[in-house]
Amino acid sequence: MLSIPSYYPKQISFPKGQGVFPVNTIYSKSFFKPKSKAETKVIAAKKHSDSERRRRVRINGQYATLRTVLPNLIKMDKASVLAETVRQVRELKKAVAEVEAACRHGDSDECVLPGGVDKLSLEQCDGEQEGLVKATLSCDDRPGLILDITRALSSVKGRVVRAEMVIVGGRSKNVLWIQGLGDGKEGMVALRRALKVVIDRPIFAGLSKRFYLPQ
């Protein structure tokens, strides 16, 4: 047991390193509870310093894990560890933002890769030629999909002036630029109806979802 010489103990020789203290470090279990004022004060002080040490261990433990999770943080003092962490976090956030921006052109609708849910959207392309419509169509890939799309397009007025098709992981995304649909709404409505049929058509039974080259 340590005897506390005064209210200002010059030095209490702890093992200097951190370490879990044994459970028999009991604060308030003196026999028959004498509870002199001075004694309770000493006990409270010990309890206080103990909890403060636990807090320090907690904080320093987090410093240690932080040093492992980020590079070049070992052999750095606490302030520098935090500063470097801030710097690297900013870098990581920028990297994530850049790479997300690379996958989508502004909107999530503009992702170049096929989405996981079927979707059909028509969009008037102003700024370029008059009457240009961009149709975007996402669905499961299947044998004959291109043929179905071609048939649907031949059923409406207008012609395809450009097409981009992406097939990956069994999903297909097709972007079609169509000109000459007509001035009114009828052309758009007809196009939407025709492409909706393509999306909603079930995969031909008995065939896998693989995409086969057209023969």
Partner DNA sequence: CCTTACACGTGAGTC
Partner DNA sequence: TGACTCACGTGTAAG
| Binding stretches for DNA (CB under 7 A) | 7-12, 14, 16-18, 44-49, 51-53, 55-58, 60, 77-79
Alpha-carbon gap, residue 124 to 132, rounded angstroms: 6
Alpha-carbon gap, residue 84 to 67, rounded angstroms: 10
Instruction: Residue 105: name its binding partner from DNA, a copy of itself, none (Cβ under 5 to 8 Å by kind).
Output: none
* Beta carbon nearer to DNA, 49 or 154: 49
Q: Per rule CB under 8 A, is residue 48 in the interface with a copy of itself?
A: no
According to CB under 8 A, which one of 1, 79, 117, 205 is a site residue for a copy of itself?
79
166: enclosing H helix or E strand: strand 159-168
- Quick check: helix, strand or coil at residue 140? strand
Instruction: Residue 12: name its binding partner from a copy of itself, DNA, none (Cβ under 5 to 8 Å by kind).
Output: DNA
Instruction: Residue 17: name its binding partner from DNA, a copy of itself, none (Cβ under 5 to 8 Å by kind).
Output: DNA
Q: How far is the CB of 82 from DNA (least distance, A)?
A: 10
Q: How far is the CB of 63 from a copy of itself (least distance, A)?
A: 7
- CA 209 from chain centre, in angstroms, equals 30
- Quick check: helix, strand or coil at residue 29? coil
Stretch that binds a copy of itself, among 20-28, 40-48, 116-124, 161-169 (CB under 8 A): 161-169
* Beta carbon nearer to a copy of itself, 32 or 204: 204
* Beta carbon nearer to a copy of itself, 27 or 101: 101
| Residues 132 and 161: beta-carbon distance below 8 Å | yes
Instruction: Residue 36: name its binding partner from a copy of itself, DNA, none (Cβ under 5 to 8 Å by kind).
Output: none
| Residues 191 and 122: beta-carbon distance below 8 Å | yes
The DSSP symbol for 212 reads: P
Instruction: Residue 46: name its binding partner from a copy of itself, DNA, none (Cβ under 5 to 8 Å by kind).
Output: DNA
Structure tokens at 131: 């009457």
Alpha-carbon gap, residue 53 to 150, rounded angstroms: 74
Mind giving me the DSSP string for 58-114?
Answer: HHHHHHHHHHHHSTT-TT--HHHHHHHHHHHHHHHHHHHHHHHHHHSSSSGGG-SSP
Contact residues toward a copy of itself (CB under 8 A) are 8, 55, 58-59, 62-63, 65-66, 69-70, 78-79, 82-83, 85-86, 88-90, 92-93, 95-96, 99-100, 103, 112, 146, 149-150, 153, 160-168, 176, 210-215
